[in-house]
Amino acid sequence: MISERCNQVFAEVINHYHQYNDINNAGKNPYPSGSLDYLLYAKCWIDTAQWHMEDEVRNPSIEPVEALKWKRRIDASNQERTDIVEVIDSYFFEKYKDVKPGEAASINTESPAWAIDRLSILALKIYHMQEETLRTGTDEQHLEQCRQKLAVLLQQRADLSLAIDELIEDIQNGDRYMKVYRQMKMYNDPDLNPVLYNSKSK
């Protein structure tokens, strides 16, 4: 099942990151370039680093200049995240390009890679909520609330994993078909964001 492999790779990435806990340490992707495992690893590494960038920018005592620096990095990371999701979707599109959809085939509201994107974020939520259930220096009420939230996250992962596997199976069988849409994010594009292209003419 594809979701099982996704969850394995995502756990591997998150554990690798926390060996160093360093946003600037890009790590080494252990998988062959172009393979699905390679793409999954790279995807989750971007998410994991960005998770910690988001923590930094929310520091209530952060200086405005420092906050802006993190905001710029988060913007760049968001673009990397979108780009690699599209590469993962292209992987699936190429893999199943010869499958002929049935007459009753339907398109899914979410592509396989964007569902996998949510699975990657869930892996991070689970990891950090698990940490909270083991936290010292807090009260039992907080720990119990975190245990309850962790249980919900684990169920959510199980449900999403099943939905991803069913989607991939349906695409394989021709019961659903997929398209790859480029997100065309405008805020990072110097030719499409009015603030950016107007600043060049000043």
Query: What DSSP string describes 66-130?
Result: HHHHHHHHHHHHHHHHHHHHHHHHHHHHHHTTTPPPPTT-EE-SS-HHHHHHHHHHHHHHHHHHH
| pLDDT given for residue 37 in this prediction | 98
Tokens 């398209």 sit on residue: 179
**Domain residue ranges of the chain, discontinuous segments joined by +:** 2-188
Residue 133 neighbours by CB distance under 10 Å: 16
pLDDT tens digit at each of 202 positions of the chain: 899 999 999 999 999 999 989 998 877 999 999 999 999 999 999 999 999 999 999 999 999 999 999 999 999 999 999 999 999 999 999 999 999 999 999 999 899 999 999 999 999 999 999 999 999 999 999 999 999 999 999 999 999 999 999 999 999 999 999 988 776 666 666 776 776 667 766 5
DSSP class of 20 = H
Q: How far apart are CA 202 and CA 187, in angstroms?
A: 19
